[in-house]
Structure 1
Amino acid sequence: MSVPSVPLTPTVSAEEVVSFESAEIMVRTLGAQDALLRILAGVFPAVDISVRDQALGLRGPAEAVGQARRVVEDLRSLARRDAPVTPEVMEQVVTLVRGGAAGRGAGALHLDSILSGRGRKIRAKTLHQQDYVEAIDRSTVVFGLGPAGTGKTYLAMAKAVQALQAKEVNRIILTRPAVEAGERLGFLPGGLSEKIDPYLRPLYDALHDMIEPESIPRLMEAGTIEVAPLAYMRGRTLNDAFVILDEAQNTTPKQMKMFLTRLGFGARMVVTGDTSQVDLPRGTQSGLAQAVEVLGGIDGLEMVRFDSSDVVRHSLVSAIVDAYDQARPDAAPAPRRGKPGAGRGR
């Protein structure tokens, strides 16, 4: 393993060693061909970094050495859990360590598996996703706000299936408004089920990733899982249910209020959406945008915000999101990725 060339400070005031239990964990932590090690050296130029066997030596000013050690230990914690350790994750960890991030220190990253299904493990992959999962665990109503590809709906559905399997709820209800995304599909043939199926297909796709396909029709027939357009929620009280409203930016204020007031005893709600992708007719206010303005500060309700650094699709998606955000007429300067506390609001 090569050692990056980094400048030494005139006075060495601290020296620490981070050990790895295996070469595999060390490579996962520091990156293939020392990619993340070189980034670490650039982030902490005053720290002399050395590698010997399965240990990383850090020498330099006490504060910088302490921060570098905490970054490496947090990345090692992720590597032990087989979570992806990428430059983007490292950037978030560095920001978290340097800013204190509400007291979360070394070893505080627990991107554990939420659900194991169909031969794959579903887990949070970024710190904002971790904030989101933790918010769902502690709050009755959670809003997941941010661009496409950040895992808002997918993680919410994983938590819903987890809650159902743990018998924390009796049923899962998945819903979204039947609004066309910038296209006019015209008359759709078939019965009601066939007409609404195109709008609900993304929810079915995610469901098939988490539950054996042959059991889904049985669960739906029994009412344990319900996938329906938002209009079907009117007049109901949803007790002992995990309810997910997807594409909430396409609700009107009246629809959003109607949905939120369906909350019954023993129920939990997750609302996901992206206020930059509203498909409502021109001049119609988004119910999600209004909810963000008026519902802040309510006990038991949290809003978690994602940004392009949380996109887990193709790397180009992140760049596309940033480009569109910067092109918006009302766009403010882009926030620094991974800013402490940016992912959580009450």
Structure 2
Amino acid sequence: MANDSRSGSRRPLYPELVKAFLNVIDRGDVEEVRAQLAAHPRLAIAEDEETGVTSMMKSSVAPNAIAIMTLLYQHDSRDGTDPAALLYACACGAEPAAVDLLWSWSRQSRVPEFMFWAYCDTFGDGPMVLAARSHNVVLLRHLRSIVRISDQRHPSNHSLKQLRAIISTNDEEFAVEAMSTRLIQQAIKNEEESYWRTYEDHGMIKYGWIMVANCIKDAIVADLQRVVDKFERIHPAYTHAAVYYCTHSLQPQERTVWTDLRAQFVWDCSHDIIRPALLVQLRWLPGLVPLGYHIASYLIPTKTDLHKRAQSRIKGFELCENEQDCGPLCSSCYRRKSSHGMYSS
């Protein structure tokens, strides 16, 4: 039997053999997996040449996942300690128990804890973002309970990344629940919160800053009214501005559902609550008609003095001379002008 095992370990792993084995794993057939590993031990470290999916990755989301993962690990499959296996499991919405097993194995390796949870794919998305996009509510809750706060704050797991991924599922209940968590609420309340996004568009890799306003826009486009309402409860003025600009190009009948929030934006501007609007326009929709024009067009006619004051403030608002050094949302210019009275009431 020992000779047979050693002989089997030297046999080449033909692509057809690997695919057949991965299909067995996919079915969750524990006994067949055991039999094939006995005949071809190297199947434990097999990898699909086309997709790059390994036996351990496939087993993490298969029926009877724990039993099959344990069999593979006993046959020297060490990619269970590889953060890439965790990314695959989270992206496919694995059960929390499978993620816990990968986590326990990684702790026996030399992979530092922060490297395990901060590891990301080619687009910079980490385990928590991928879990959110998989629409596995239970898995995401579980990750929040076991991942250190410092790792949850890592750019690969950025709160706005998670929120945008959750909104993309079109599940209002899921989104509203996520927006009740402390880290995501902190991100929404911070007007200058953003992250650097890498994405593919028609075969080209593109980049750009993503803000809270982009998340609000996604919710509006998906007609997730409860989600937009939640945004308003967390950060009213910023939400009013984002809704106003996002719906500006819509037909009148399409804007009806957002009438109240649009009107609230006008009220905000008439009472000099303009900083959120400046941030939204200058950083998110810089190509639109100047904000001062909208304020002058929509404010109550008797508020002429406020129109002029708001317009003069907006006219005086300038971006930093060295924008790149200041980061995605520099407010130093705002603070500098405020100190000279330009933004004082």
Q: Give the TM-score, by structure 1 length.
A: 0.28
- Larger Cα Rg: Structure 1 or Structure 2? 2
The one of the two structures with greater contact order (alpha-carbon pairs below 8 A, sep at least 6) is 1
Q: Give the TM-score, by structure 2 length.
A: 0.28
